[in-house]
Structure 1
Amino acid sequence: MKTLEKVNYKGFIWPLIIGIILWCITPWRPAGLSSQAWEMFAVFVATIVGCITKPLPIGGTTLVGLVVTVLVGLAPMKDVVNPKTGAVTDTGVLSAFSNSASWLIAMAFIMAYGISKTGLDNRIAYWMIRRFGKKSLGIGYAITGLELVLGALIPSNSARTGGVVWPITESISESYDSKPNSPSRKKIGAYLDFMAFHANILSTALFITGAAPNMVAQQMAQQKGYTMTWGGWFIAATVPVAVATVIIPLVIYKMFPPEIKEIPNAKKWADDRLAEMGPISKPEKIMAAVFALSIVLWVLSGFFKIPQLDSTFVAFLAVALLLVTGVLTMKDALKQTGAWNILIWLSILIFMAGKLISYGFIGWFSKLIQNGLHGISWEIVLAILVLLMFYTHYFFASGTAHMTALYLPFLSVAVATGAPLGLSAMLLAFTGAINASTTHYANGPASILATTGYVKQGEWWKMNFVLGIIYLLIFGIVGTFWMKIIGVW
């Protein structure tokens, strides 16, 4: 007998309560706001709360929010066009799915499956362990290096951790009899587990395609007139990430030292696994070549405004090449539910945020904060906003929901008080990556690595608090000066 799928109906309670309350106080909305602006705000907030309480997966939650937006008359299904001028007078919800960033990430997910299917990701991992794995600190740096490489290859930070990095660290830990939920966890497993998490933070910060929140920031910044390209983000992130890559593993090694300092068998362990894989295969070679071509074209797209070098087109080109060469099949592409899921929810959230702008809510909010901060220098305002962006993540279990809710308002406030657009856009975006150094539920990788039994929850929070301060100092000071040198502001 067939049964209904499980739905977390309790998760609808808070979105409904908050959304209805906000909607009902529309007659008493703040001065200067239209009723449509406030109603759109009510639907948007309810949707973001739903992304946190998760009555449905985020794709389903945002789809419900989109349906509500249409039902209450805040957006039509199709674009409304003036018959005389041909100009679009009201943007329809179907236009949301023409968002280039959403398609870029969807195609990147399919490319990532090619990396996994061919085994190229594991081969890279074993090569790095073989080269740097003689000491436990070296393993920590190898994991960091592995994540930085995978950050360019796999656009999902959870996929990088869950699919590649965690299985490798777990295997190394168990090979040295370091077990979770036992005193032996501190032999090496706890150190590697925690190191893997922070390596993921660094890889997320280094690439605009490192995680979905980065792409949200890109689209929100575009709505304020600032364009983030793949190459521009990478160049801006290179120096602060490089500094953090040197410092973070050392700090973790000192703060949470493994009992095993030397790992004489690491090279043999990696060699054995490479031997099991055999020589590099033709699919791996093609996959590596296609991805190398994509990286080159993504970098060039940041310097040359050629339509054919559009970042999203490059991703489509890469997937087409993988299909034509037989590395992937269309069935492989259709099976990537993560790709199609993100295409739905990212498109919808960006569309709803755009409606907040068109109805004037974001502009009103910016002026409100600007008036409240009158007389305070933009440097202090920007610093406060960065700290708020970082520490409010204690209240979010989703980096995407957090970025969608706060990035655009914060960026608008920073610019309104005189802060340079480029600096504000990049600093707030980077903060959306490093604020994972907070809780055990901060993002997908945290949920994976904090529940393995190697690191206790109290240890996770305490060490992340210290490392969070280090991240803020590195990106706030080193990152700001570096972006000044390269002309971001």
Structure 2
Amino acid sequence: MKSLEKVNYKGFIWPLVIGIGLALCTGIRPAGLTANAWLMFAIFVATIVGCITKPLPIAGVTLTGLVVTVLAGLAPVKDVVDDKGLVTQSGILSAFSNSASWLIAMAFIMAYGISKTGLGKRIAYHLIKLFGKRSIGIGYAITGLELVLGALIPSNSARTGGVVWPIVQSISESYDSKPDEKSRKKIGSFLVFVAFHANILSTALFVTGAAPNMVAQQMAAQKGYSISWISWFLAAVVPVAVLAVIVPYIIYKMYPPEIKETPNAGTWADSELKKMGTMSVPEKIMAAVFVMSIVMWVLSGFFDIPQLNATFIAFLAVVILLICGVLNVKDLLGVSGAWNILIWLSVLVFMAGKLSTFGFITWFSASIANSLKNINWFLILVILVLLMFYSHYFFASGTAHMTALYLPFLSVAVAAGAPLKMAAMMLALTGAVMASTTHYANGPASVLASTGYVKQGEWWKMNFVLGLVYLAVVIGVGSVWFRIIGLG
């Protein structure tokens, strides 16, 4: 007789207590909020708490939150369309049309192809040969790789999911470090966490590093400050350089790999490359598709062509791999991580979007503006940076977060007397580094937190510590550097 699947029923206690408790406060909710906005907030918070207590795997938790959203009458199943064919209310099925989620899912499948063909191991052995004498050296090599890719690939999810993660996975497995309790901390956990923070730094360095940066650029222009590619780079280069030096080292000390010294790594990697021999046909095709994807992702930053959409490029790459026989449909369906992310990230983005639709985010930003009157402008700017950073716990999309809060926060800072250019860049950089919070903070977080190398509790604890480092550098080093280059 088959038994029931295990369910952590105790894990439901806190989500239910918090969710029901907040829902019962609907009658005494803050002025300016509708009942729907408050109920959506209650469900969203309960879902996030559920992601922490894990009564079910995260996909199950978020699907439960989605069902509760419908049962509460906050969203229909299908889109509601008016007589003119316009969508008046988004249904829950629209959650799974989120392009970022699909990009990450396809990137996971590409990563599987890189691993299956052996191309990932070949790249990993070459990196180990060059930088592998110490594990921290590999960490800095990954950071450097991300910083270079940040200038080339405008999608942070594409950089991590399509390029960096397959390499990190292959390096980890080359040291027999797999996402299990026995071996994950040999080196894999360290490299995965470094790769995530390297992506944050590459995002912060370039205005084209990710979509939220370009939202900030457009909104700063509405206040009269035009942020060019070079002006963003000049403003970001010193804070990012400081972080690029200290963050991998802090991770190395805080979350040390078991394998620290590998003096014979170069010789070993060279011998493994000889064993692999010349590239196989599947490897060559995979390499060609890999390079094609990178080139197309680079071009997508310069040309507004539908076929150069980052998500479509990932779909195209997967289809080519299927047609050429590098992957088969069984491979595609077997990459469970891809479909897991597609479910939970899509749901969280949808729920966060509902918070905005019901006016919760507008109320939140207005409340902040009203409470920060008659205070020194620099203190106000620091408070706004902190609020921008920590409010990201309520967002599963950096783009949605920046769209909702950047312009209101910038307006508050300028009205208080803060220099426009300094406030614009400090809030913009905060928008880049605030992803160092949760496992659902952005696409790369979703990719790397789902690999199994870093446990969710570790992710939150260590990111809280590193968040303080980011804030110290952005506020401290940033404000001094901005004055030096004439932004303050």
Match of 1:155 among 154, 161, 184: 161
Deviates more, 1:327-336 or 1:192-201: 192-201
Who is 1:432 aligned against?
435
8 A contact 2:168–2:192 mirrored in 1:
no
User: Per the alignment, do residues 90 and 16 of structure 1 end up closer, same or farther by CA in structure 2, a change over 3 Å counting?
Assistant: same
Matches of 1:390 and 1:331, distance apart in 2: 41
Who is 2:418 aligned against?
none
Who is 2:117 aligned against?
118
Gaps of 5+ in 2: 150-155, 204-208, 221-228, 415-422, 440-445
User: Per the alignment, do residues 410 and 481 of structure 1 end up closer, same or farther by CA in structure 2, a change over 3 Å counting?
Assistant: farther
Deviates more, 1:124-133 or 1:359-368: 124-133
User: Per the alignment, do residues 290 and 149 of structure 1 end up closer, same or farther by CA in structure 2, a change over 3 Å counting?
Assistant: farther
Name the amino acid aligned to 1:333. Answer: L
Who is 1:57 aligned against?
57
Match of 1:196 among 191, 213, 231: 191
Deviates more, 1:15-24 or 1:118-127: 118-127
Who is 1:9 aligned against?
9
Give the secondary-structure state (helix, strand or coil) at the position aligned to 1:55.
Answer: coil
Q: Deviations over 1:81-123 (max 9, x none)?
A: 122x222222111111111111111111111111111122221
Who is 1:283 aligned against?
282
Cα drift, residue 427 of structure 1: 2.2
8 A contact 1:298–1:309 mirrored in 2:
yes
Cα drift, residue 447 of structure 1: 7.6
Cα drift, residue 244 of structure 1: 3.8
Does residue 23 of structure 1 match 2:23? yes
Who is 1:372 aligned against?
371
8 A contact 1:81–1:89 mirrored in 2:
yes
Gaps of 5+ in 1: 172-179, 182-188, 209-213, 227-231, 437-441, 452-456
Who is 2:307 aligned against?
308
Q: Deviations over 1:308-358 (max 9, x none)?
A: 211111111111111122211121111111111111111111111111111
Name the amino acid aligned to 2:307. Answer: Q
Cα drift, residue 247 of structure 1: 4.7
Who is 2:223 aligned against?
none
Matches of 2:275 and 2:47, distance apart in 1: 48
Name the amino acid aligned to 2:161. Answer: P
Cα drift, residue 433 of structure 1: 3.0
Who is 1:69 aligned against?
69
Name the amino acid aligned to 2:37. Answer: A
Who is 1:174 aligned against?
none
Cα drift, residue 294 of structure 1: 1.5
8 A contact 1:109–1:154 mirrored in 2:
no
8 A contact 1:44–1:352 mirrored in 2:
yes
TM-score relative to the length of structure 1: 0.73
Who is 1:41 aligned against?
41
8 A contact 1:135–1:264 mirrored in 2:
yes
Aligned residues: 445
8 A contact 1:349–1:404 mirrored in 2:
no
Name the amino acid aligned to 1:341. Answer: N
8 A contact 2:120–2:170 mirrored in 1:
yes
Deviates more, 1:359-368 or 1:280-289: 280-289
User: Per the alignment, do residues 123 and 26 of structure 1 end up closer, same or farther by CA in structure 2, a change over 3 Å counting?
Assistant: same
Who is 2:443 aligned against?
none
User: Per the alignment, do residues 2 and 447 of structure 1 end up closer, same or farther by CA in structure 2, a change over 3 Å counting?
Assistant: closer
Q: Deviations over 1:355-395 (max 9, x none)?
A: 111111110111111111124466544534545676899xx
8 A contact 1:36–1:359 mirrored in 2:
yes
Give the secondary-structure state (helix, strand or coil) at the position aligned to 2:88.
Answer: strand
User: Per the alignment, do residues 391 and 37 of structure 1 end up closer, same or farther by CA in structure 2, a change over 3 Å counting?
Assistant: closer
Matches of 1:42 and 1:265, distance apart in 2: 55
Matches of 2:427 and 2:384, distance apart in 1: 9
Cα drift, residue 412 of structure 1: 6.8
Does residue 96 of structure 1 match 2:91? no
TM-score relative to the length of structure 2: 0.73
Cα drift, residue 148 of structure 1: 7.2
User: Per the alignment, do residues 61 and 40 of structure 1 end up closer, same or farther by CA in structure 2, a change over 3 Å counting?
Assistant: same
* 1:400-419 correspondence to structure 2 within 5 Å: 411=406, 414-418=409-413
Matches of 2:481 and 2:288, distance apart in 1: 32
Who is 1:439 aligned against?
none
Deviates more, 1:66-75 or 1:405-414: 405-414
* 1:408-487 correspondence to structure 2 within 5 Å: 411=406, 414-418=409-413, 424-433=427-436, 444=449, 448=453, 465=465, 471-475=470-474
Give me the identity figure in percent: 55
Who is 1:177 aligned against?
none
Cα drift, residue 74 of structure 1: 0.7
Match of 1:164 among 167, 170, 180: 170
Cα drift, residue 68 of structure 1: 0.7
Cα drift, residue 463 of structure 1: 12
8 A contact 2:29–2:38 mirrored in 1:
yes
Who is 2:200 aligned against?
205
Name the amino acid aligned to 1:309. Answer: L
Matches of 1:483 and 1:285, distance apart in 2: 47
Cα drift, residue 132 of structure 1: 2.9
